[in-house]
Structure 1
Amino acid sequence: MVENGFKPALGLMFVKLEETIEFYNLYAVACGFIPRKYTQTRFRDRLIDKKSMELIGYAIDTFYEGRNHRLCSLKEREFQKNVRTLNLYMKQTIVNNCKLNIGATKTFRIMTEQSNGYANIDASLTEFKNFKRNIKCYIGDKYADMILDYLKALSESQDGFYYAYQVDEDNCLAKIFCADAQARMNYSLFGDTITFDPTYGTNKYHMAFTPFPGVDNHKKSVTFAAALVDHENDGSFIWMFMKFLDCMGNKEPQCILTDQDPAIKLRVRYVFKKARHRYCMWHIMKKLTDKVDSQIYKETDFVERICGVVWDTDLEPIEFEEKWTQVINDFELNDNTWLTYMYGKRHKWIPAYFRDLPLGCLLKTTQRSESQNSYFKRFESIDGTLVEFWLRFQSAMEQQRYNHKFLDAASDSTLPQVSSKTMIEKHASKIYTHTVFYEFQEQVQMAPCSCDIRGFSEQGNMHIINVEDAYRKHKIFQVAHNNESKETTCTCKMFERKGILCKHIIWIISGKELQSIPEQYIETRWTKKSYRKPLYGLDEKLLQDYDPTDLRKLELSRVWS
């Protein structure tokens, strides 16, 4: 019948069966009834759609007699299966919302609101769910190949994009590491201190997601690189650290902050030869309630006193040791093995032992890592595929960078409010980002009311000024000023620890009526124009040394980055 053509009762001729079925479906939609699904019947080696052909001829010929289908009213027309179809805009919306961890059900509700009601949307919730299901089915077991093909394409199309991967003994994807040019540039600018804290179970394959965050010039979190590993073991940590160094041109951070995981601390020491390894203070101090007798913890001021010693960034190592010993003796805790052990490891986590490390007290806890993990989890799903995870990770990075650009624009186009008439504060408002300026302004405001000169002496070219700090229980700090080099240092070492001048130095140099902050006391990473420091040359290599007066090279590198 198909070969000779099929002629329905309306007088139309169809050469192919598919054309007949398509016409019938369109006819059913136009007239207002739901067509039946046809079945296929096989006779030996031939496939004949016997039932559907009979149905088509019967339905069209006898439709108006009402013996085959019930007519649908206009109110019911939206429920016809042939009417409910996803258009390209709906499909694209489902995919885009997937990047934000918004499921099919919520996407459907959003689109119904945008369409002013369910009647105005040409699809049902079932179609939305089925399309999302079909995407996952299409990905299936091809997720590894799709991810690697995409990363390869990015590395070929984007200069400075770095990625690496590793497969296990079963040839399954086990590890991924990646960082684009923007992330690598951020590390060159703000990679003084990084934190490392893996988070487990970010996808249905239970791979550990590990970002490498730091602090940018607005004191916000910035991600330098990210990795996914199948296991949190020695091999995975070594692989991630080695790829991180390779990605960043073997430039180590000054300090890397982690928890006390034995596997992590051993591998940090194995891979990073120059970086100081520091333990998270918060992870240590939260164990205090379990390690100290509950009666001492609840009925005395032990916690308040020990925290006052531990978190004090102005203490010298000798001062810390004296105060710690005094607290331990006062509460008779000399036999507490945990406190004794942590005191033995004090050079790994107490701020007093990081005072001489440039920006050593910039981070004291892994809160940045935990906040980054929490931030990325908003874009993650425990049952998501790696392809979905990658899309959501990219979306999260775009949002993070948008926020950074927004703050850059605010700092470039506006000036913060200046509270004093000092030229130093006005200069700071022009060079520092808003966040850093307000910290500097706080030091300027405290200087007149908290600092008082208690002594003065000369040692060769050095002027030694003893400054009493009223806010530090009348503690004396020594400010040394070199008449030849014009350098000024303070025993509080705030500039070394945080990269911002302390109130003691501000109090001394303010009397000299300086028009601006001396250049040696301007930490580049806190300035508005820190991003103009070059990272890549045209040869795609990291620039370790450059001449700041070579404006052509500086501008070319900036544009290339």
Structure 2
Amino acid sequence: MIKPNCSNFYDSPNGTRYWIPSVPSDYKPKLNSRFDTWENAYAFYESYAEIAGFSTKLGQSKKNKKTGILTMRYLMCSRGNKSAPTEIDSVDLTEISPSRKTSFKRTDCKAIMKIRIVKHTTQWEVFEFNEVHNHGLLNQDNLDFLRKRRKLTFYDQEFINKCRLAKIGPSKAHNLQVALKGGHHNVRGTKNDYKNWVRDNNGFIGKRDAQMFVDKMLLRSKNLEDYTFKYLARDKKIKCLFWADNVSKCNYKVFGDVIAFDATYDTNLYKMIFVPFTGVDHHKRCVTFGAGLLSSETIECYTWLLEKFLEAHGGKQPMVILTDQDPAMKKAVKNVFDNTTHRLCTWHITQKLPLKVCGDVLSNTKLRKEFNKLVWNVYIKPETFEERWKLLMERYKLQDHEWLGKMYAKRHKWVPSYFRDIPMCCLMKTTSRCESSNHLFKVNSSPTNNLVQFLLCFDTTLDGQRYQQRSLEVRTATTVPKFECESIIERHAATIYTRDVFKDVQNEIKRSERTCYIAERSKPVDGISSYQISHQDVRFDIVNEFTVYFNMNDGTVNCSCMGFKRIGYLCRHAFCVFRHHKVYEIPDRYITQRWTRNVLPSSVFSMGNRYGIDQTKSGSKN
């Protein structure tokens, strides 16, 4: 098959951008060309579309009124026509039902091939062809997202049925296909396609294990570009292992500001402790920066692992590292990451509350809800937290509780209100929850797996993580979000951020219009004005007030909630002031690169960097 080519994009005189696929002329439709049947014409257009990088659909058709015979067909880009608009007939926000947040795939694309039957024959001819698209096209690395590639074959349908007979649902059946075929890119259809098919039809080393594992990893480090594998052995026994590939390293360069370092158990036959290094990418999803296996949780083992991690990533230390309360881990972090802020995992500590506080106090009260609400409140200052903690303990008569007392003594290590001055500190909440994603590695592996089996499970899980990242990249690049505020700055934000981050920024813009207002304004001093912003809840009750300083000379803005410093994008209070000053674009200084589109190099998503490809052969170093 001919290899897909890149598309060329152009700007029209009125500023509209359009794309024309670069396809060899032999594979491109031509006016007046003929086909024996319309099915042959459609197959030809489908092949052209696959080379060009877009999906197709059947459009308008016409029949002979007397005979009922088909005489005309429109073959279109799948993104042709417009999406039906959502109508709102009320100005009362309380009467509007919440709608699903989604993205529009239809862009009213005009790319089309029109065919009609030739009089007095059974042949069809092309009488109109438009190759211009108003949206980007998929490149050869992402063709598995085409509708044609997602269509299930008879074998796929048979496989789903056999899995159902074995009490394996469509989601697990898809996971099995991914593992069997060597990656998502080799599997037709997504999990939803499998589920939809089931719905529509109403209804599948022995003693040299350690040596084989090491040999496999050494082969990868020899043949793959920038692949790191290190191990420590004593008395012919493996003590420590660490590995990271070039995709993990690329992700760490961009998203390595806050990482979680967590021990996971029961993933292999030898009870070695699995330690993945986890962060958050620009889609607010978990991303793995490397992983290790340790024979024991000692200071020596953890120190060795952290040193190898640091070497693999060129000595770059994260701003913040999150761990559990393991003393050996704490000591190792202090020894190796001397320029990093070490904090305990808030999520782990809050999850322990039901185990530490039992009985009627927890089951018959709102303690857990109030505890989490207080702990995760990033807006309050440390002194406010301490006052509210004291009141909470008194309310539930827990002043003398031993575990809560110990946690309070360590509050500066795990309570977010003490981290307000640390850049991107709010990532710790997301990263903490990402630690729970380590159960995916645990689910895909088991205590009965040897090391080779464990590695296969790890590769499969990592491939799934990266497939999700690639899928979100494609979604961001090929869809248009649903706008809610109809403001210019909202549309500007949509061109900057990934879809998931845009939703958060969009929410801040929306809240700046609906739940924030300027309560007080000071006179400018040297071009700097201060604004008292009242922050309301959904019932329009004032719950907080913040001060925003705006410099009219250079456009800088600072809010006392420290939202930009905490999370990396502007808060609703700043947007409220921007609206007052008619600022229509987010200034460059307030665009944090880690949240933006295309922040990762395209090589991260290339075919050669995917698990399931025979990397030791096809991905060799240059």
TM-score range, shorter chain: 0.5 to 0.7
**2:227 counterpart of 1:161:** yes
Matched ranges for 1:542-557 at <5 A: none
Find the aligned partners of 1:96 and 1:330 in 2 and give their Cα distance.
53
**CA 1:299/1:256 → structure 2, altered by over 3 Å: closer, same or farther?**
same
Most deviating of 388-397 and 255-264: 388-397
Partner residue of 2:409? 344
Partner residue of 2:189? none
Of 238, 251, 254 in structure 2, the residue corresponding to residue 189 of structure 1 is: 254
**Does the Cα contact within 8 Å between 1:99 and 1:379 map onto a contact in 2?**
no
Partner residue of 1:479? 548
Cα shift at 1:195 = 0.9
**CA 1:281/1:159 → structure 2, altered by over 3 Å: closer, same or farther?**
same
**Does the Cα contact within 8 Å between 1:99 and 1:388 map onto a contact in 2?**
no
Matched ranges for 1:499-510 at <5 A: 499-510=568-579
**Does the Cα contact within 8 Å between 2:264 and 2:442 map onto a contact in 1?**
no
**2:426 counterpart of 1:361:** yes
Partner residue of 1:305? 370
Most deviating of 435-444 and 458-467: 458-467
Summarize deviations over 1:261-301 as a string: whole Å, max 9, x none. Answer: 22222222222112111222232233334544744434554
Find the aligned partners of 2:358 and 2:281 in 1 and give their Cα distance.
41
Find the aligned partners of 2:457 and 2:355 in 1 and give their Cα distance.
38
Of 547, 566, 571 in structure 2, the residue corresponding to residue 497 of structure 1 is: 566
Partner residue of 1:250? 315
Of 295, 311, 331 in structure 2, the residue corresponding to residue 230 of structure 1 is: 295
Consecutive unaligned residues of structure 1, counting only runs of 5 or more, are 1-92, 101-135, 536-559
Q: Give the partner amino acid of 1:270.
A: N
**Count of residue pairs the alignment pairs up:** 405
Find the aligned partners of 1:315 and 1:348 in 2 and give their Cα distance.
16
Partner residue of 1:375? 440
Most deviating of 200-209 and 331-340: 331-340
Find the aligned partners of 1:95 and 1:143 in 2 and give their Cα distance.
24
Of 586, 590, 597 in structure 2, the residue corresponding to residue 521 of structure 1 is: 590
Matched ranges for 1:87-486 at <5 A: 97=180, 136=205, 140-168=206-234, 170-292=235-357, 294-364=359-429, 366-371=432-437, 373-457=438-522, 458-471=524-537, 473-486=542-555
**Does the Cα contact within 8 Å between 1:422 and 1:510 map onto a contact in 2?**
no
Higher strand share: 2
**Does the Cα contact within 8 Å between 2:257 and 2:318 map onto a contact in 1?**
yes
**CA 1:469/1:95 → structure 2, altered by over 3 Å: closer, same or farther?**
closer
Find the aligned partners of 1:436 and 1:96 in 2 and give their Cα distance.
31
Cα shift at 1:363 = 2.2
Q: Give the partner amino acid of 2:600.
A: Y
**Does the Cα contact within 8 Å between 1:98 and 1:388 map onto a contact in 2?**
no
**Does the Cα contact within 8 Å between 1:360 and 1:498 map onto a contact in 2?**
yes
Find the aligned partners of 1:454 and 1:185 in 2 and give their Cα distance.
46
The DSSP-based 3-state class of the residue aligned with 1:384 is: coil
**CA 1:297/1:386 → structure 2, altered by over 3 Å: closer, same or farther?**
closer
Cα shift at 1:403 = 1.8
**CA 1:238/1:98 → structure 2, altered by over 3 Å: closer, same or farther?**
farther
Find the aligned partners of 2:518 and 2:344 in 1 and give their Cα distance.
37
Find the aligned partners of 2:408 and 2:240 in 1 and give their Cα distance.
37
Cα shift at 1:487 = 1.3
Question: Could you state the TM-score of these two structures normalised by the residue count of structure 1?
Answer: 0.67
The DSSP-based 3-state class of the residue aligned with 1:363 is: helix
Summarize deviations over 1:61-93 as a string: whole Å, max 9, x none. Answer: xxxxxxxxxxxxxxxxxxxxxxxxxxxxxxxx9
**CA 1:274/1:533 → structure 2, altered by over 3 Å: closer, same or farther?**
farther
**CA 1:394/1:494 → structure 2, altered by over 3 Å: closer, same or farther?**
same
**Aligned residues with identical type, % of pairs:** 36
Summarize deviations over 1:4-44 as a string: whole Å, max 9, x none. Answer: xxxxxxxxxxxxxxxxxxxxxxxxxxxxxxxxxxxxxxxxx
Q: Give the partner amino acid of 2:230.
A: A
The DSSP-based 3-state class of the residue aligned with 2:307 is: helix
Cα shift at 1:336 = 3.0
Summarize deviations over 1:446-472 as a string: whole Å, max 9, x none. Answer: 112211212122454431100011127
**CA 1:290/1:200 → structure 2, altered by over 3 Å: closer, same or farther?**
closer
**Does the Cα contact within 8 Å between 1:162 and 1:179 map onto a contact in 2?**
yes
**CA 1:413/1:507 → structure 2, altered by over 3 Å: closer, same or farther?**
same
The DSSP-based 3-state class of the residue aligned with 2:318 is: coil
**Does the Cα contact within 8 Å between 2:230 and 2:242 map onto a contact in 1?**
yes
Consecutive unaligned residues of structure 2, counting only runs of 5 or more, are 1-175, 184-204, 605-620
The DSSP-based 3-state class of the residue aligned with 2:482 is: coil
Aligned-residue CA RMSD (Å): 2.7
Q: Give the partner amino acid of 1:314.
A: Y
**CA 1:329/1:444 → structure 2, altered by over 3 Å: closer, same or farther?**
same
Find the aligned partners of 2:508 and 2:598 in 1 and give their Cα distance.
22
**Does the Cα contact within 8 Å between 2:273 and 2:296 map onto a contact in 1?**
yes
Summarize deviations over 1:374-394 as a string: whole Å, max 9, x none. Answer: 212343232222122222322
The DSSP-based 3-state class of the residue aligned with 1:357 is: coil
The DSSP-based 3-state class of the residue aligned with 1:194 is: strand
**CA 1:181/1:319 → structure 2, altered by over 3 Å: closer, same or farther?**
same
Structure ID, larger Rg: 1
**CA 1:332/1:397 → structure 2, altered by over 3 Å: closer, same or farther?**
closer
Q: Give the partner amino acid of 1:223.
A: T
Q: Give the partner amino acid of 1:305.
A: E
Summarize deviations over 1:444-502 as a string: whole Å, max 9, x none. Answer: 11112211212122454431100011127431100111233321111111211111211
Find the aligned partners of 1:329 and 1:144 in 2 and give their Cα distance.
55
Summarize deviations over 1:379-419 as a string: whole Å, max 9, x none. Answer: 32322221222223222222221221111111112221112
**CA 1:392/1:290 → structure 2, altered by over 3 Å: closer, same or farther?**
closer
Cα shift at 1:238 = 1.0
Question: Could you state the TM-score of these two structures normalised by the residue count of structure 2?
Answer: 0.61
Find the aligned partners of 1:327 and 1:95 in 2 and give their Cα distance.
49
The DSSP-based 3-state class of the residue aligned with 1:232 is: coil
Find the aligned partners of 1:312 and 1:167 in 2 and give their Cα distance.
46
Cα shift at 1:434 = 0.6
Summarize deviations over 1:189-223 as a string: whole Å, max 9, x none. Answer: 11111112211231212211111111111111111
**Does the Cα contact within 8 Å between 1:203 and 1:385 map onto a contact in 2?**
yes
Most deviating of 245-254 and 455-464: 455-464
